[in-house]
Structures are given as structure tokens and as C-alpha cells.
Amino acid sequence: MASLADIRARLAAQENKSTGNNYPQSDGAIYPHWKMDEGALASMRFLPDADTGNSFFWIERQVIKLPFNGVKGDINSKQVTVQVPCVEMFGENCPVLAEVRPWYKDETLKEMANKYWKKRSYLFQGFVRQNPIGEDETPANPIRRFVISPQIFTLIKASLMDPEMEELPTDYVRGLDFNIKKTTKGQYADYSTSNWSRKESALTEVEQAAIEANGLFNLADFLPKKPSESELRVIKEMFEASVDGRPYDTDKFGAYYRPYGVDAPAGTPAPAPAPAAEVATPAETSTPSEPVVETAPAVETPSEANPSSDKANDILAMIRARQNNS
């Protein structure tokens, strides 16, 4: 398990880099905090990733949403959206972003560029300790997964860089709960008042037994499948069709990526059975159980680059000093 110092160092390294250069199938483990009523609070205890090579206790997911003017051949269809993985998530060049990036140089194209720019979310796991949602069913395994929006993630990340946080919040004995608080701002849900609990607490015997019995999730297993070369070509073709205002072509694209509710074309081979941990099938579909809009949409452009800072070095020095004096 990575230490708090390791996480801070990694976060600081990411801050100093310039940026610019589908969801998997639901098994009911994702906790739908976006379904909370306004004014409600959900308390959760994050756990480490099963992948010890992951310095963080979360994993970032990047997707692109392609809107289409209905489905070809269906005169009653409304606008549909196909969600595809952005391969920058895997450290590769994304053909869609390569096309969209220059649009930001033209003021008249910026709105269109924002529509097709990648959308980030962050996947965590842990226990729900206070649940304001009346769920009809909960999974047998109480370790849930959380799809966290950039707004909430910014609050989590900022607190981790705070020198007053001395312990890793996922520590089994001296960890911290995170409280998601839902309000509204305009027509969107707002989570800006979410925060870490100020009081440390240990996992209960029941929670520790659940970890022993079920193990932790490997969060990378829940990223979209990395597209093959042929799938990348299809993504580029779908992007071009979307920009041109054409309807979604099930015969052409349905064996690869589909909107929710659209069946694969007849004769499409069924995907091979997934391994024990769920893996996205070859034909990705967007599912309604995922948060479509959690917060007011933040515009992320390719020119965004977080400023350099010596804050992380100062924090690390303080931690080392405390450790030497203890």
C-alpha cells in the first residue's frame, strides 16, 4: 500500500506536467450517490486498490461521448449518445482528440470542441457507512465502487495535499470517512461542500471480515477495454459521422459500440465470457445506471496545465520531520 507521502509526491508530479499533448457492465456494486435527495449526506470509507502497483487508491477513467441524430432506419428515434474510451487513458494518442484539439484555436468552434473533448471520472472502492438512499437491493459484498466526478475529486485531492492530514485516509486503523453532500446550483447537482471527516476511525470487525472474505477490487478491471486498431478506426468513423450530423448506423457500428437500448445487428458474434472480474464486452453500451450529469459541466481544454508548485516538497519535508521526531 502506498504511503501518504508517496501519493503526495505522485500528485505533485502530475501537477507539474502539462496536459496537451465505458463503463464496464454494472453488477450493482456501484453506489449511486447522485440519486441522493438535495441536502442529503452519504458517508463512505475508501479502501486501497488491490493492485499494489497503483500508488493511488483510485483510478482515472477517460471517455468521449458521441451524440447522434437518432438511429438510421428508425424514424421514431431521438438523439442518442455513444460512449467510447479515450485512449489517452492508456497513454496513447487519441484520434478524436487529435482532430478536436486544433478547434480550440477558433472561437466559433470552441463549443463544438467542448462537446467532443474527453470526460474524466475517478473510480474508488470502499464501504458506505451512512446511506441516505433507499436501495431496493444491495450487493452481497458490502465493498462498493464509487464513480466520482471531477468536482468531488478536486476536494479529495486538495485535502490529501494538506499538511494537516497525517495519515492515509484508507488506513484500516486511523483512516477517515469521506462525506458526500448534495446541494443544487442552478439546474445542476452541486457537491462542493463534501469533505473528509475530522475524526479518525478504525474499520469495524464486520468491515474487516468483508475484506477478508471478498478481497479488494482491482480497479483497473473496471476501465473500458482498450480499443484495438480496428476499433480505433471505428471510433474515428463514428466521430466523423457524429460531427456531420448523421444518424447512428447500427449495421456499420453496432458490433463495436452502441447507444443504450440499441441491439447488436443480427449475426454479430456473442462476446466471449468475461473472466471472474468484469471486463467490458467488445460492443460497449452506455448504461442508464451511470451518472450522466452530476455537476455543472466543467470545460477542460487541451491548453489546461496546472501550475508548478513547491508545496508538495514542503509537505514531504514536514512529514519526514514529524517521523524523525516520533
Grade residue 286 by pLDDT with cuts at 50, 70 and 90: very low
Grade residue 262 by pLDDT with cuts at 50, 70 and 90: confident
Please tell me the chain's helix, strand, coil percentages from 3-state DSSP, rounded to the nearest 5: 30, 20, 50
- Tell whether 231 is covered by a domain: yes
- Tell whether 321 is covered by a domain: no
Rg of the chain taking only CA atoms, in angstroms: 21
- Tell whether 203 is covered by a domain: yes
pTM listed for this prediction:
0.75
- How many structural domains compose the chain? 1
SS3 262: coil
- Tell whether 286 is covered by a domain: yes
To 10 degrees, the CA torsion angle through 26, 27, 29, 32? 40
- Tell whether 68 is covered by a domain: yes
pLDDT, tens digit, for every residue of 29-68? Answer: 999 999 999 999 999 999 999 999 998 999 999 999 999 9
Q: For position 263, what pLDDT does the model report?
A: 81
pLDDT, tens digit, for every residue of 176-222? Answer: 999 999 999 988 899 999 999 999 999 999 999 999 999 999 999 99
- Tell whether 258 is covered by a domain: yes
- Tell whether 15 is covered by a domain: no
Per DSSP bridges, beta strands 59-68 and 80-85 are: antiparallel
Asked if residues 174 and 167 have their Cβ atoms less than 8 Å apart, the reply is yes
- Tell whether 276 is covered by a domain: yes
Q: For position 187, what pLDDT does the model report?
A: 86
Q: For position 166, what pLDDT does the model report?
A: 85
175: domain CATH number is: 3.90.198.10
Grade residue 15 by pLDDT with cuts at 50, 70 and 90: low
Residue 297, C-alpha cell as written in the block: 459541466
Which domain, by its residues, includes 146? 20-299
Cβ neighbors of 146 (< 8 A, separation 6 or more) are 30, 31, 33, 44, 46, 123, 124, 125, 126
